[in-house]
Amino acid sequence: MNWKVLIVIALFGWGAYQHFEGRAVRHGPGVLVEASPVQRPVEQGAVSLNGYTIQPLQSFEIAARVLSVEHYSMDREADLSPVDLALGWGRLSDSQVLKSIDITQGNRFYFWRVHDYPVSREEIENSSANMHMVPADAGVKRALMSVRKGQIVKIQGWLIEARAQDGWRWRSSLTRNDDGPGACELVYVREIHVE
């Protein structure tokens, strides 16, 4: 077989794999995840990860629908968090509601836009969040990097503050009703289950 044909077949196969591996998971109408995220006090000392000090602030559990996924590799924060997940729960996990909301991510932020509000602005802001995911180990990292829009994720870990010896600091929000810079959760992911 001609080597050019082999290259074309390989490229086509790679393109098909990328298309099907990255496509969004679709759901019918209805709330998929009713519960809000849960956080509790944690009595865990600091741990080290990739040269950074990780200080747990609260334990954290969430089940949510993935509204958007953004991978990072170039910013300093990518040393810890190679992926951000925009997550929704309650009515922000309902396809009927989500079809009226345009959702994007970039530069470590989550953006949404509506033409007509399917639910109140307050509900959108309090039932969704951009979360910077910090994998605890290589297995968690593999799972996080393969998450797709539309999937349901169940995550257990900590909300954290990360520090470096040069004075750099990155701290999680500890509430769901804030917005703007500093409002995202910084989640040290100890366990993840994807549906």
Tell me the two tokens of residue 145: 């990097």
Does 8 map to a domain? no
Chain centroid, CA 192 distance in Å: 11
Please report the pLDDT score of residue 181 as a whole number.
73
The reply to whether 185 falls in a domain is: yes
Domain region containing 141: 27-194
176 lies in some domain: yes
- Per-residue confidence (pLDDT) for residue 27, from 0 to 100: 55
Query: Do residues 188 and 158 make contact, with C-beta atoms less than 8 angstroms apart?
Result: yes
Within a domain: 17: no
> What pLDDT score was predicted for residue 183?
74
Mean pLDDT for 131-142 is 98
Predicted confidence (pLDDT) per residue in 55-98, tens digit: 999 999 999 999 999 999 998 999 999 999 999 999 999 999 99
Strands 128-135 and 169-171 come out as unpaired
pLDDT digits (tens, 9 = 90+) for 144-192: 999 999 999 999 999 999 999 999 999 999 977 776 777 789 999 999 9
What is residue 133's predicted lDDT score, i.e. its pLDDT?
98
Give residue-wise pLDDT tens across range 14-65.
444 444 445 665 756 678 889 999 999 999 899 999 999 999 999 999 999 9
Residue 6 located in a structural domain? no
Query: What gap in Å lies between CA 10 and CA 4, rounded to an integer?
Result: 10
For residue 68, being part of any structural domain is answered with yes
Instruction: Output the pLDDT for position 176.
Output: 72
* Residue keyed to tokens 């970039």: 106
If one counts every other C-beta atom within 10 angstroms of the C-beta of residue 21, the result is 9
Instruction: Give the mean pLDDT of 111-121.
Output: 94
- Which H, E and C letters describe 82-128, residue by residue? CEEEEEECHHHHCHHHHCCEEEEEECCEEEEEECCCCCCHHHHHHCE
As for how many domains the chain has, the answer is: 1
β 128-135/185-194 pair status = parallel
**Using CA atoms, how far apart are residues 89 and 67, in angstroms rounded to an integer?**
10
Cα–chain center distance at 55: 20
